[in-house]
Chains A and B, each alone.
Chain A
Amino acid sequence: MTAIEPESFGPPAAAIDNLVTGNVDGGGPSRGAIPGRARSERAIRVGAYAAMTAISLLFFIPFLWTVSTSLKTLPETAYFSLLPNHWSLQAYHDVWTKYDFARYIENSAGLSVAITLITLVVAGLGGYAFARLRFPGREILFFGVLATLMVPDQLRLVPVYEMLVKWHLINTYTGYVLIKLGLATSLFLMRQYFLTIPKDLEEAAKLDGAGYFKTFWRVMLPLAGPALAAVTILEFQGAWNDFFWASLLLQTPDHYTVQLGLAQFVFQYHTEWPKLMAASVIAILPIVAVYLVFQRYFVAGVASAGVKG
């Protein structure tokens, strides 16, 4: 039995690779070769479908209820009708124009895009260097990068906050972006992916006289599509959904992200349910759109984030 025990702490690398390439449908217990199993086979299948449908419903009802409520008028929320009697976009209109959510969305989008782009460039270059270039101390430096994943934000909070106060970077976009550049997971992901690219292509580029940067930019980066997609999703989602650092560093309403705006909205308009639900939908919708388009890379991002431990 020992021979088949996966050796390490955490999901094994091969499985992660499958997740990264989107090949998650490969495994699973295979059977059917054993006679007399067909009937129990069918029973299991029906049971599995029933369980999956039940869980899916449980998972989706709160979201359906949210969307439905956001389309109702306030008096109507007192009745538990599944669909609104009078469909109304008033709540969305109010939230967007009267309560500044247009501004919050703009802030969130700007910050998330900035963080994602900076990370792509920095983690891409760094990942390439750690995977391919040889320089003294490379392994130690890379180990250092991974070790930062062990530093929890609670420990970082006080010294980082104190530093930002000193540098007048509290309540600035610059300060927020600097703190949100986690990088380690993305760097790790890029490096692992570059390691899988055959060396021949680079060699060819070098023999053609391309420098290191050109080789990286023209040869390596275009080959790293899946890794870049995973990093994009990971960073964008992390920035868009962030509440912790945003609540600490962005302190005035003109700097609020959509998550902060939503929380403040909850504190102030406690029972304005249609508006609160409309604001929640607005806060979730962009991520849902990204999720639907890049689903398989989401899985890859999570799986690799898991590797770090």
Chain B
Amino acid sequence: MSAEAYRVRGGRPGRAREALVGYAFVLAPMAVFGVFFLFPIGYAIYISRYNWGVYGSQGSVGWHNYGWVLHDPIFWRSMRNIGEYTAWVVPAQMALGLFMAVIVNQKIKARTFFRSAFYFPSIASSAAITTIAIFILNADGLLNKALSLVGYDHHTPWFYTTTTAMPTIAGLNAWTTSGTMMLFYLASLQAIPNDVYEAAAIDGAGRWRTFWKVTFPLLKPGHFFVAVVSILGAVKLYDQAFIVSGGTGGPDYATLTPVLLLVQEAVQNIRFGYAAAMGVILLAFMVVLTLAQRLLFGRSEAA
């Protein structure tokens, strides 16, 4: 009420002034978005149609950069790597995150402490976490020592063996990011009203049954959200692969991810056109993935 009165008194000039101030206040963020987000989308597509090096454009190549990317066996090797990584890390993150969320959601003492403890690895930097993992997972490291105590006496250099490198990075990231997934699941769990549980209890359902028949299905929006966040994060894998392999993607391309390849092409080889085309193709993949997930979850909802 008072707002209206004020505005009426202020009249038209007051409103124009408000609008001007409004534009002034959002000017800085809008400039950042325009220059560093909106413009680069178009510019990426523009660059992708040229042979573009240190000295700028060296002639149009039409859409050929896209064809070259799609016919590059190394590109497909990196896609296979990231597919393998995603297949390992997403289920691990989701299962661990859900498990921890359910535990922490119980009415017990010290759960704030445990929640913080589970979230702790999520706050450490990827560089530090990877360094620690390199130490613990080296041929003479703590993990192999622990395994030798239970009878598996091998000196596997986990990050430097072609078959174990990617699953090991997946395990590392499942460890460090499941705390974040736990928080997302926790928010979803707390959105389920108590009467549902009470109804289940009156029906005589046990804990186990209640979880699988009531809680788990009701968490569907949570599952969808966590899956999307987890997959989109997985596709971007870069830091750990870079640090583990010294930027090469080795051994024998085993840790070469699409983003790492993209960076190599852009920053080391300065093939901007080619790298830009790769970026657009990756974006297309991510959009398709998200849509596919939405379809998948949407359909099961209808059923």
Chain A residues in the interface with B (C-beta under 8 A) = 4-6, 8-12, 14-16, 18-19, 24-31, 33-34, 37, 40, 44-45, 48-49, 51-52, 55-56, 59-60, 62-63, 65-66, 69, 78, 80, 122-123, 125-126, 128-130, 133-136, 138, 141, 144-145, 148, 151-163, 165, 178-179, 181, 183-184, 187, 199-200, 203, 206-207, 212-213, 216, 237, 240-241, 243-244, 247-248, 259-260, 262-263, 265-267, 271, 273, 276-277, 279-280, 283-284, 287-288, 291, 295, 298-299, 302-303, 306, 309
B62 to chain A, nearest CB (A): 18
Residue numbers in B under 8 Å from A5 (CB-CB): 218, 220-221
The residues of B that contact A271 with a CB separation of less than 8 Å are: 138
B189 CB contact (under 8 Å) in A25, A27, A66, A263? A27
B190 contact from A27, A31, A44, A135, Cβ within 8 A: A27
**Most A Cβ at <10 Å: residue of B25, B135, B197:** B25
B158, CB-defined interface residue at 8 Å = no
Q: Choose from B20, B43, B117 the contact partner of A59 (Cβ within 8 Å).
A: B117
Q: How large is the interface on B (under 10, 10 to 19, 20 to 34, 35 or more residues)?
A: 35 or more
Specify the chain B residue showing the minimal Cβ separation from A283.
B128
CB <8 Å contact, B239 and A155: no
- Candidates B116, B145, B187, B242; contact of A11 at CB < 8 Å: B187
B246 touches A203 (CB 8 A): no
Closest chain-A Cβ to B303's Cβ sits at a distance in Å of: 14
Residue of B nearest to A124 (CB): B25
Which among A145, A157, A259, A280 is the interface contact of B262 at CB below 8 angstroms?
A157
A6 to B108, CA, bound (A): 26
Are B28 and A126 within 8 A (Cβ)?
yes
Nearest-Cβ distance from residue B100 to partner chain A, whole angstroms: 7
A158 in contact with B275 given A4-B196, A306-B184 (CB within 8 Å) = yes
- Docked Cα-Cα span, A95 to B301, in Å, equals 56
Give the most central of A60, A122, A277: most B CB within 10 Å: A122
Chain B residue contacts of A145, Cβ below 8 A: 29-30, 33
Interface of A is mostly: helix
Residues in B neighbouring A123, C-beta threshold 8 A: 29
Question: Which of these, B41, B207, B228, contacts A309 with CB under 8 Å?
Answer: B228
Is residue B150 within 8 Å, beta carbon to beta carbon, of the partner chain? Answer: no
CB distance from B179 to the nearest CB of A (A): 8
Contacts of B192 in A (CB 8 A): 4, 6
Interface 9-mer from B69-77, B83-91, B161-169, B278-286: B278-286
Given A129-B25, A158-B47, A295-B116, residue A183 in contact with residue B263 (CB < 8 A): no
A60 to B116, CA, bound (A): 12
On chain A, the residues within 8 Å of B134 by CB distance are 266
Q: 11 more A-B contacts (CB under 8 A) besides A52-B103, A158-B275, A263-B242?
A: A5-B220, A48-B106, A51-B103, A55-B117, A155-B279, A158-B44, A160-B36, A161-B267, A184-B33, A280-B128, A291-B123
Which residues on the A side are within 8 Å of B234 (C-beta)?
none
In the docked arrangement, what's the CA distance between A75 and B179, Å?
35
Main SS class of interface, B = helix
Q: Is the pair B126, A241 in contact by a Cβ cutoff of 8 Å?
A: yes
Which A residues lie within 8 Å of B196 (CB)?
Answer: 4
Query: A159-B44, A243-B239, A284-B128 in contact; A15/B112 too (CB < 8 A)?
Result: no
- Chain A residue, CB-CB nearest to B201: A34
Please, how many angstroms separate the alpha-carbon atoms of A18 and B191 in the complex?
A: 10
Contacts of B29 in A (CB 8 A): 122-123, 126, 145, 183, 187
Cβ contact within 8 Å between B44 and A267: no
- The 12 sampled A-B contact pairs (Cβ below 8 Å) are A12-B191, A15-B187, A29-B106, A30-B194, A48-B108, A51-B99, A52-B117, A62-B133, A63-B132, A159-B276, A276-B135, A302-B183
* Cβ contacts under 8 Å, B131 to chain A: 262-263, 265-266, 276-277, 279-280
* B222 beta carbon closer than 8 Å to chain A: yes
Nearest 6 A-B pairs (CB), nearest first? A11-B187, A27-B190, A135-B22, A129-B25, A133-B22, A135-B19
Inter-chain contact B23/A135, CB cutoff 8 Å: yes
Given contacts A4-B193, A6-B188, A158-B47, contact A134 B19 (CB under 8 A): yes
Chain A residues within 8 Å of B107, by CB: 28-30
Please determine whether A44 and B43 come into contact, CB atoms closer than 8 angstroms. Answer: no
A33 to B207, CA, bound (A): 15
Report whether B6 and A203 are in contact in the complex, using a CB–CB cutoff of 8 Å.
yes
CB pair B18 A287 closer than 8 Å: no
Contact partners of A306 in chain B: CB under 8 A: 183-184, 187, 225, 229
Which B126-146 residues have C-beta < 8 A from chain A?
126-128, 130-136, 138, 140, 142, 145
Q: Are A273 and B135 in contact (CB under 8 A)?
A: yes
The answer to whether A158 touches B22 (Cβ under 8 A) is: no
Complex CA gap A207/B22 in Å reads 19
Residues of chain A with a CB closer than 8 A to B188's CB: 6, 11-12, 15
Query: What residue of chain B has the Cβ atom nearest to residue A242's Cβ?
Result: B125
Asked if B25 and A125 sit within 8 Å, CB to CB, the answer is yes
User: Which partner residue on chain B sits nearest A259 by CB separation?
Assistant: B127
